[in-house]
Amino acid sequence: MFTLPEKRFYRVLQKPKGFKAFNVVAGESDLWIAVLESEYRRGVEEEILSTLISVREQIKAFGEKNPEFFKSLTPVNLPTFVPEIVRVMGEASKKVGVGPMAGVAGAVNLFIGRKLTELGFSQFIIENGGDLYIRVERPVVVSLFSKNPKLSGKLGVELPPGEWGVSTSSSKIGHSLSLGRTELATVIGKDPVVTDCSATYLGNSKTVIEAKKRAEELLKINTGAVALIEGKFVMAGEVKLVRLTQ
């Protein structure tokens, strides 16, 4: 059965000024998308929905014929000819060492971002179950949420202008599988599929020492990582934490 992670613990940035936001929903996929108000036009929701349905069907059809793709917690070997979104998920999972479905939300975001670019949108923010794909020309802040009331909604990660994948996993929040004990595991990088897989890998940490080791490993393919485990923060790479104002 085809399902997407439902990590709804933050619904994106601090009400980005100058952006028009809308939702696109197909099955378990519930995307929050923001584009520049000056570029928004009526009917874009239907075009994005068509792309979302298409990529979901491609993954579903492949997974039904190759159930290991859905079930494996480690990388799998793929046939030579597969849908591009399946190939992208497979390649990202091999870079990180997790199953290909660990990157499904990030892969959907990537292909929706490609469609937005094709339609002429120069900047966008896509959120899909807690996984973000962002292309912006000014700094933005992503809120961090957890079940810890001292943290939730009070800290954020500031990103410089550019194109970013920001993915989060947790053993405490959401329905996606986690084998670890992290309250929060967020990874930042240029590839939203790789960051999605990487967040799962970091989120599977069971101790502070393991989280530190995994966060540092992930810097080979990402920009930065931050985890909260056993009440302690672990950070590696370029992560600019900021305090959020109410």
Annotated domain spans of the chain: 19-243
What pLDDT is stored for residue 26 in this prediction? 96
What pLDDT is stored for residue 17 in this prediction? 86
Q: Which helix (H) or strand (E) holds 115?
A: helix 104-118
Tokens of 198: 């990487």
In this predicted structure, the answer to whether residue 53 has a pLDDT above a threshold of 50 is yes
In this predicted structure, the answer to whether residue 3 has a pLDDT above a threshold of 50 is no
Contact at 8 Å (CB) between 48 and 185? no
Q: How many other CB atoms sit within 10 Å of the CB of residue 104?
A: 29
Full-model pTM: 0.90
Q: How many other CB atoms sit within 10 Å of the CB of residue 82?
A: 16
In this predicted structure, the answer to whether residue 93 has a pLDDT above a threshold of 90 is yes
Percent of the chain predicted with pLDDT > 90 = 77
In this predicted structure, the answer to whether residue 66 has a pLDDT above a threshold of 50 is yes
CA 25 to chain centre: 17
Instruction: Please tell me the distance from the alpha carbon of residue 135 to that of residue 156, in angstroms, as a whole number.
Output: 18
Better pLDDT: 14 or 128: 128
What's the mean pLDDT in 103-131? 96
pLDDT digits (tens, 9 = 90+) for 175-193: 455 566 888 999 999 999 9
Least confident of 72-86, 161-175, 178-192, 215-229: 161-175
The CATH code belonging to domain 19-243 is: 3.10.520.10
Rounded to the nearest integer, the mean pLDDT of the chain is 89
In this predicted structure, the answer to whether residue 146 has a pLDDT above a threshold of 90 is no
Residue 203 sits at the vertex; the CA angle it makes with 245 and 77, to the nearest 5 degrees, is 135
